[in-house]
Copies of this chain bind each other. A is one copy, B any other.
Amino acid sequence: MALCAPLSVEDQVVQPMVDASPAKWHLAHTTWFFETFVLPEPVFDPAFAQLFNSYYEAVGPRVDRPRRGMLTRPSLERVHAYRAQVDERVARGLAEGVLDPARVELGLHHEQQHQELILTDAKYVLGTQPLRPAYRATDRGASSSPAPLGWRSHDGGITQVGSPGGFAFDNELPRHDVLVHPFQLATRALANAEVQAFVADGGYRDPRHWLSDGWTTVVREGWTAPLYWHEDALYDLAGVRAIDPAETACHLSYYEADAIARWLGARLPTEFEWEVAAAPLDPARGNFADDDRLHPRRDGALFGDVWEWTQSSYSAYPGYRPLAGALGEYNGKFMSGQQVLRGGSCFTPRGHVRATYRNYFPPAARWQMTGVRLAKDAA
Residues of A at the B interface (CB closer than 8 Å) are 8-11, 13-14, 16, 24, 47, 50-51, 55, 57-58, 63, 67, 69-76, 125-126, 128-131, 133, 158, 176-179, 181, 207-208, 210-215, 254-255, 258, 267, 311-313, 315-316, 318-319, 333-337, 339, 363, 377
Contact = CB atoms under 8 A, between A and B. Distances in A.
Contacts of A73: 8, 10-11, 126, 129, 131, 133
B214 A336 contact: yes
Contacts of A312: 315
Given A47-B131, A130-B47, A130-B51, A69 B14 contact: yes
Given A10-B10, A129-B71, A179-B158, A207 B377 contact: no
A72 B211 contact: no
A57 B207 contact: yes
A339 B336 CA distance: 9
6 contacts: A11-B73, A72-B129, A212-B333, A213-B336, A214-B336, A337-B337
Given A130-B63, A334-B211, A70 B315 contact: no
A36 B240 CA distance: 29
B58 A181 contact: no
A121 to B, nearest CB: 12
A158 B315 CA distance: 21
Given A9-B9, A212-B55, A316-B311, A71 B335 contact: no
B181 A16 contact: no
A133 B70 CA distance: 13
A214 B332 CA distance: 12
Contacts of A11: 72-73
A318 B269 CA distance: 10
A63 B133 CA distance: 16
A377 B47 contact: no
B319 A336 contact: no
Contact of A177 (B13, B70, B179, B377): B179
B363 A337 contact: yes
Contacts of A14: 13-14, 69-70, 72
